[in-house]
Structure 1
Amino acid sequence: MSERLMRGPLLHCLGEPDKDANAVDYQLDALLWIKHGLVHKMGDYDSMVKELTPKQVSRVEDCSQYLMVPGFVDCHIHYPQTEMIAAYGTQLLEWLNTYTFPVESSFKDPVKAAAVSKVFIEQLLTNGTTTALVFCSVHPESVDALFTEAQKHNMRIIAGKVMMDRNAPDKVLDTAQTSYEQSKQLIQRWHGVDRLQYAVTPRFAPTSTDEQLAAAGRLLAEHDGVYLHTHLAENADEIEWVKRLFPKAKNYLDVYDQASLLGKRSVFAHSLHLCDSECERLAQTDSAIAHCPTSNMFIGSGLFPMQKMQQHGIKIGMGTDVGGGTSFNMLQTLADGYKMQQLNGHNLSPEQSFYLATLGGARALDIDDKIGNFVVGKEADFLLLDPNATDLLRFRTSHCEGWRDLLFVLQTLGDDRVIAQTNVMGVSN
């Protein structure tokens, strides 16, 4: 479909609400004009309709019962963990050994990897996620399967094979050399193909030797535009383990810094327990944090100090962190994010939450020139949200006073039923 014309309420961010009172653009009666998968024009319907021919006017889609918003950006998620979502009863390190490693060991089988990839991509689209930064398993087959499935839907997916050469079962280990060689081959095969991009992916410091982390740094240096995706300071026991494994490092982040892994396309999931010097270094290097509130509460890792990170000027995006997170749905993730900040004594506004799941996520991934809002020329990844998706929502939203109230109610009471339509490059999926 080379052209679509859609009329209805529209909401997006032009900046960060916590820093700019005029960051949110809400239009009650907007026209979204899409050509060849990109935003051609967007604005007030009465003003823009004069530019349309009678034939075009007849093709305008009535979206007045919905809210048009940009597609959600998930900055941290594990696709091999789809089948173990909602696993009971452990914290991080025991959880990895009990559930994660046994499940991930099966992804050497390309048939298994393809089957789970299909379910995973379907769940992303069902829940309104159009861009995601994804952990695969240690097996190259897992990456090939995910990218192949994502390519069918023209999705913007950033992913990579896990690099892990110690402190895990043999079936999920590689070596410093094989991880370098396999990652390099995958970068050459997939990075920059259609809307796919590659992330160099050491799981976390305890499962990589100095040699392997150095190999990850070489991959970043040798391939322009690839990402670094890993975990940082998620769990207190993990941090103590890192201190024992890397006694020469100043702190957890310094382990990665010594391997040249920080930068504007480096995304560190969780980052719950950072000292000021770590925060300052993240900001200095333009690195980003993926905040995963649902997972942090489910695995009992701690409370994310959002205001502290904002004060340091660190880029932040939202992550569901399936399967530590218990939902693919970004609305539910934002609800948990609000509750977490309440426990921190901070009222996270609905517009700042929305920013973190859209434009903020795009900025964290260094692709805000391509996605994140409806600015002309950007890729038309967007959603139709249904405020009447459930009986309770229909009743509650009828009492909303303005877009801010509506947005908070959708974030608090919404789930996948609110996602009436997910559009990727202007095409409904």
Structure 2
Amino acid sequence: MHNTSTVQAWRAGLLTFHADPAFSENAHSWIEDGLLIVADGKVQAAGDWSTLHASLPPGTPVTDWRGKIITAGFIDAHVHYPQTDMIASPAPGLLPWLEQYTFPTERAFADPAHAAQVAEFFLDELLRVGTTTALVYCTVHPQSVDAFFTASEARGLRMIAGKVLMDRHCPDFLCDTAEQGARDTEELIRRWHKHERSLYAITPRFAPTSTEEQMHLAGELARRYQDTYLQTHVSENEDECKWVKALYPQARSYLDVYDRYGMLRPRAVFGHCIWLDDEDRARIAATQSAAAVCPTSNLFLGSGLFDFEEADRAGMRMALATDVGAGTSFSMLQTMNEAYKVARLKGSYLPALRMFYLATLGAARSLHLDDRIGSLAAGNEADFVVLDPRATPLLARRTERADSLEEVLFALALLGDDRAIAATYSGGRQVHVR
């Protein structure tokens, strides 16, 4: 572990969430001149500078970030680290994009040295944009998982990842067998799950690329290892939905395919969730599964618009996600920007506070990790980000005219990118500074 045992403190504006702003009046706390105190890599206290600073042990170093905002580190609920090198690849839709770019790019991860080099770059990018936890897809190669966790543990990060399971409708060079995929997954769970800050995700790519046998084995693993994660894709694209209907005619819906194999449960996270019906949404809510909302990816591939209003009506857990490489930015601020527009196009409205909630505590709740990350609550792991509302001339000009926290956060979400991240901390250690 990379925790620092001495007490450290930071002075800045402090923003933290206790609840979903869409459903609660007192969902957040905002302290304009605040003090965050960290010991042994965990939050000790977060409160007013005027009342807290006297409690600091003599000689405690205080980093002065006045004029900036400290909030919990961002959580990216769905991202593909092997697709880093093919971000922004032109294609007319999801399926041709997979064939032309994704599969050939993922082939290279049979080489552990290549996997390690991409993992390092990917983690640099995440930390540069203030993302401290991500739910990550590796490739079918077990060595791609080893490379990823080796790199993330060397930095002391809280990361969740898994080997992709895929045994049909894919190139031979990426084709698993059902048994081998299950065996590799089980070995990887034993090696990495709950090792340091790593957590494992059972990862069938999506229903069309897994045989019924592979789906059955993945479902069995999900039952046997209840505290692991399960991640996959659902109802992203209308052509894909038709394809699933043809492959699984007995299932009521695309989501029902996963349900039949026992894959809906706490810590199951489904990417996209665009073409769901009311029954699907009710099932996600009832099973404490979650939706990873990927606006930049959905717009890029023309997949459709996520319905925030219907998801809220059903009481679904949800989190924002970049979905790089179909997603066009690693930045959760850029992701908020597109999420806002997607919501408008569907006739609903996302306030900035709600968007920041969905990238922090809302995401942590979706991952059932809100007792550890996602807020500045005492006892939580000290993963946090320092936001600079004056990072660019335009941001500075807009935010100095702002007369509410909502306006400042909205400007950060709509105008911000990696430049708005002054620093990123994981377990109380600075892991990025601009």
**TM-score normalised by the chain length of structure 1:** 0.98
Q: State which of 186, 189, 198 in structure 2 corresponds to 1:187.
A: 189
Match of 1:282 in 2: 284
> What secondary structure is seen at the aligned counterpart in 2 of 1:74?
strand
Match of 1:422 in 2: 424
> What secondary structure is seen at the aligned counterpart in 1 of 2:66?
coil
Q: Distance in 2 between matches of 1:63 and 1:420?
A: 9
> What secondary structure is seen at the aligned counterpart in 2 of 1:143?
helix
- Cα offset, 1:90, TM superposition: 2.2
Match of 1:331 in 2: 333
Q: Distance in 2 between matches of 1:49 and 1:160?
A: 43
Match of 2:31 in 1: 27
CA-atom RMSD in angstroms? 0.8
Q: Distance in 2 between matches of 1:12 and 1:53?
A: 24
- Cα offset, 1:53, TM superposition: 4.0
Given the alignment of the two structures, is residue 41 of structure 1 paired with residue 48 of structure 2, yes or no? no
Match of 2:120 in 1: 118
Q: Distance in 1 between matches of 2:129 and 2:30?
A: 22
> What secondary structure is seen at the aligned counterpart in 1 of 2:144?
helix
Q: Distance in 2 between matches of 1:165 and 1:241?
A: 16
- Cα offset, 1:8, TM superposition: 1.5
Question: Which letter does structure 2 place at the counterpart of 1:341?
Answer: A
Q: Distance in 2 between matches of 1:52 and 1:82?
A: 43
Q: Distance in 1 between matches of 2:53 and 2:143?
A: 49
- Cα offset, 1:323, TM superposition: 0.3
* Equivalent residue runs for 1:130-169 within 5 Å: 130-169=132-171
> What secondary structure is seen at the aligned counterpart in 1 of 2:59?
helix
Match of 2:383 in 1: 381
Q: Distance in 1 between matches of 2:12 and 2:420?
A: 16
Q: Can you list the C-alpha shifts for 1:264-283, whole angstroms capped at 9, x where unaligned?
A: 11000000000111111111
Question: Which letter does structure 2 place at the counterpart of 1:84?
Answer: M
Question: Which letter does structure 2 place at the counterpart of 1:303?
Answer: L
Q: Distance in 2 between matches of 1:55 and 1:76?
A: 42
Q: Distance in 1 between matches of 2:72 and 2:56?
A: 24
Match of 1:105 in 2: 107
> What secondary structure is seen at the aligned counterpart in 2 of 1:64?
strand
Q: State which of 362, 370, 392 in structure 2 corresponds to 1:360.
A: 362
Q: Can you list the C-alpha shifts for 1:287-328, whole angstroms capped at 9, x where unaligned?
A: 100000000000000000011011000100010000000100
Match of 1:234 in 2: 236
> What secondary structure is seen at the aligned counterpart in 2 of 1:150?
helix
- Stretches of structure 1 lacking an aligned partner (at least 5 in a row): none
- Cα offset, 1:54, TM superposition: 4.0
Q: Distance in 1 between matches of 2:12 and 2:232?
A: 40
* Equivalent residue runs for 1:234-383 within 5 Å: 234-383=236-385
Given the alignment of the two structures, is residue 68 of structure 1 paired with residue 70 of structure 2, yes or no? yes
Q: Distance in 1 between matches of 2:404 and 2:308?
A: 26
- Cα offset, 1:50, TM superposition: 2.5
Question: Which letter does structure 2 place at the counterpart of 1:156?
Answer: R
Q: Distance in 1 between matches of 2:133 and 2:92?
A: 29
Question: Which letter does structure 2 place at the counterpart of 1:42?
Answer: A
Greater mean deviation of Cα atoms: 216-225 or 238-247? 216-225
Question: Which letter does structure 2 place at the counterpart of 1:337?
Answer: A
Given the alignment of the two structures, is residue 8 of structure 1 paired with residue 34 of structure 2, yes or no? no
Residue identity (%) = 48
- Cα offset, 1:395, TM superposition: 1.1
Q: Distance in 1 between matches of 2:283 and 2:210?
A: 22
Q: Distance in 2 between matches of 1:150 and 1:50?
A: 36
Q: State which of 41, 52, 74 in structure 1 corresponds to 2:56.
A: 52
Q: Distance in 2 between matches of 1:349 and 1:394?
A: 20
> What secondary structure is seen at the aligned counterpart in 1 of 2:269?
strand
> What secondary structure is seen at the aligned counterpart in 2 of 1:389?
coil
- Stretches of structure 2 lacking an aligned partner (at least 5 in a row): none
Match of 1:177 in 2: 179
Q: Distance in 2 between matches of 1:194 and 1:36?
A: 15
Question: Which letter does structure 2 place at the counterpart of 1:18?
Answer: A
Q: Can you list the C-alpha shifts for 1:61-99, whole angstroms capped at 9, x where unaligned?
A: 211021111100000000000000000132111111111
Q: Distance in 1 between matches of 2:101 and 2:373?
A: 34
**TM-score normalised by the chain length of structure 2:** 0.97
- Cα offset, 1:55, TM superposition: 2.4
Q: Can you list the C-alpha shifts for 1:214-242, whole angstroms capped at 9, x where unaligned?
A: 11011112223111100000000000000
Q: Distance in 2 between matches of 1:244 and 1:217?
A: 21
Q: Can you list the C-alpha shifts for 1:8-46, whole angstroms capped at 9, x where unaligned?
A: 211111110000011011001111000000001111111
Q: Distance in 2 between matches of 1:157 and 1:41?
A: 24
Q: Distance in 1 between matches of 2:286 and 2:71?
A: 32
Question: Which letter does structure 1 place at the counterpart of 2:18?
Answer: L
> What secondary structure is seen at the aligned counterpart in 2 of 1:229?
strand
Q: Distance in 2 between matches of 1:360 and 1:93?
A: 31
Q: Can you list the C-alpha shifts for 1:357-389, whole angstroms capped at 9, x where unaligned?
A: 000010111100100111100000001111111
Match of 1:206 in 2: 208
Number of residues of Structure 1 aligned to a counterpart in Structure 2 = 427
Q: Distance in 2 between matches of 1:195 and 1:113?
A: 20
Match of 2:82 in 1: 80
Q: Distance in 2 between matches of 1:49 and 1:424?
A: 22
Q: Can you list the C-alpha shifts for 1:168-203, whole angstroms capped at 9, x where unaligned?
A: 101111011000000001011100001100000000
